[in-house]
Structure 1
Amino acid sequence: LFNTLSPDGKEVELQSFIERLHVAGLMDQRDKRLKVMKKIIAEVGGRGKCFYGVKLDIHGFARLVDLDKNLMLRALVNNLVIPNFGDFIQKVNYSFELQQSNIAGQIPEDPCPLDKINEDSWAVAVCTIDGQRCFFGDHNTQFCLKGQVKPFLIGFALKKLGIEYVEKFVGHF
């Protein structure tokens, strides 16, 4: 893997390594799995956010990759659950923009602990099983999933437990 990323077989550019992970959908600030990696990057690259010119020898590269070899390898060879994450982000963003002006529907009447949220808030967030993440809109705004989750929970219960069992607790279908 080192030789794949190193044109001369001696060093890998830290900025290029970080960009490859970012393009793969990793390197989100909230990803706790990468906390140690970010600490090592800060040690190797200094305090700045720009690492152009900073080079990693094979030992520095191994320090970063060894933290999660499987994830790093799959990310660097474009083999995560969503291989072309940039294309995926464009499609999600297109859908986000397309639906942003859709104000159809009603806000549920039942009380929710977060019912003081601006009803015009709109966000889309995606996190894959590999930890690839993207966010659009008001993604930092807290909200209540109560009504939105019911169809998924009922569907999941139906699949796992069957209609006869679920019907006893939910009502009728």
Structure 2
Amino acid sequence: MSSEKSIQEIYKSYVATGSVKKFMNDIKAQGIQENDPRLSQIAELTKEREQKEKKVDYENFARRSTPCCGLMKKFSERQFVIPNFEKFTKTIEDLYWRIKPNTTGKNAAYIPQLASIPDYWGISICTVDGQRFQIGDTGNGFSIQSCCKPLNYAIACEYLTSDVVHKFIGQEPSGRMFNEMVLDHNNQPHNPMINSGAIATASLIYTLIDGDQRRSMADKFDMVKTWMERAGGNERFGFNNSIYLSEKEVADRNFALGYFMKENKVFPEKTNMLESLDFYFQLCSIETSAETFSVVASTFANGGVCPLTDEKIFSVDTCRDVLSLMHSCGLYDYSGQFSFNVGLPAKSGVSGVIMLVIPNLAGIVCYSPKLDQHGNSVRGIQFCEELLKTYAIHPYDNLRHTLARRSIYEDK
């Protein structure tokens, strides 16, 4: 069925009978929220009809449906990536309540402002079709901490290409602590997901693009924050100044790493190492919510195209490189075990956030500040591992002769 035919069917079934509001309720049941930017003109039409109590003609409806014709087609043909969204969300709810009593772990105490965060627990999901679900404390703001690393790396790759970035940073798991003072056999940080690699990535952003032309720190920060907002469907990203100041006050190890890297000529020529460090602290202190950050995760799952705006944010090649490194290096010293148990790309931050990417399906963000000995959210890790016991989404669950678990795609 063509997009035009889908719009005609929806008009005939809902709008012509005066049931625009029923259409909004039915599409909401499939996980598409009323504030979805693709539906903004249809939502306006609903309000106008209620106020004026006038029948909506087809031309008006078709014109307002143009920005979301692909969405209309999927709704009309029931072809969303998760077909039975209600059943899926019920499974997620069950997992949420099963995991909630797990209060083990401790907040990250080495950053004072993180030590006092309450015992929040939330899960937010956004699929590659923009189907969304939240449960728990998903609206509370948190600093993204190390979850800035895949985004910074993606931005650097978009500006400079992966080949240029990896002249300065390696691609291998370090097998050491995330803040270990060690470089690889090429005298480079092992990868962009550990502190040394992330500091090097921060030094690359806006450094090599314009030759000798320098960009201000303000320009750098605004550029990265705007890019994150675009990846998040133009939803809110803020900045937590108290976290930034707290992080900077206890950053002796990172300063030592910076000088160690400078001594070993890791940075591009003319790099101001102290500015790069400060920039890195700022990026870790960018603040958002699980609801918004799940859209960022789904942008990576969707090959770099934001599901809510259909804007291409990152190239497919950049997404491939980011997800590869998240898969091998994203969970600190638990990365290998997580890869074995879950097999999906993920990145954690010591604020208690875990960003999980299920390629071609969804992005999931868990938020719970209590951490295990590796610095990962206790509840977040448990959720990821329980999800893999529930659904066949491990990359190797489709091997021949596998006694497959439930498939999300067939959850009808």
TM-score, normalised with respect to structure 1: 0.70
Counterpart check, 1:24 vs 2:23: no
Letter in structure 2 aligned against 1:78? R
Measured at CA, do residues 75 and 7 of structure 1 come closer, stay the same or move farther in structure 2, by a change above 3 Å?
closer
CA distance in 1, matches of 2:138, 2:191: 37
CA distance in 1, matches of 2:14, 2:38: 30
Measured at CA, do residues 121 and 58 of structure 1 come closer, stay the same or move farther in structure 2, by a change above 3 Å?
same
Higher mean C-alpha displacement, 120-129 vs 61-70: 61-70
Counterpart check, 1:33 vs 2:38: yes
Q: Could you say what secondary structure the match of 2:143 adopts?
A: coil
Residues 74 and 80 in structure 2, CA contact (< 8 A), matched pair in contact too? yes
Task: Tell me how far 1:101 sits from its aligned partner.
Answer: 0.9
CA distance in 2, matches of 1:24, 1:128: 11
Residues 26 and 131 in structure 1, CA contact (< 8 A), matched pair in contact too? yes
Residues 29 and 85 in structure 2, CA contact (< 8 A), matched pair in contact too? yes
Instruction: Give the alignment of 1:6-155 within 5 angstroms.
Output: 6=12, 11=17, 13-29=19-35, 31-46=36-51, 56-111=56-111, 116-118=116-118, 120-146=119-145, 149=147, 153=150
Measured at CA, do residues 63 and 20 of structure 1 come closer, stay the same or move farther in structure 2, by a change above 3 Å?
farther
Measured at CA, do residues 87 and 111 of structure 1 come closer, stay the same or move farther in structure 2, by a change above 3 Å?
same
Q: Show structure 1 runs of 5+ residues with no match.
A: 48-52
Q: In the comparison of the two structures, how many residue pairs are matched?
A: 160
Alignment match of 1:162 (pick from 171, 174, 190) = 171
Task: Tell me how far 1:10 sits from its aligned partner.
Answer: 5.1
Deviations 1:11-60 (A, max 9, x none): 4621331122111111243x33332322122112339xxxxx98655335
Letter in structure 2 aligned against 1:143? F
Which stretches of structure 1, 4 residues or more, deviate above 6 A after TM superposition?
Answer: none
TM-score, normalised with respect to structure 2: 0.33
Task: Tell me how far 1:100 sits from its aligned partner.
Answer: 0.9
CA distance in 2, matches of 1:59, 1:99: 50
Residues 123 and 137 in structure 1, CA contact (< 8 A), matched pair in contact too? yes
Q: Show structure 2 runs of 5+ residues with no match.
A: 1-5, 155-165, 173-183, 197-331, 334-412
Residues 24 and 34 in structure 2, CA contact (< 8 A), matched pair in contact too? no
Q: Could you say what secondary structure the match of 1:131 adopts?
A: coil
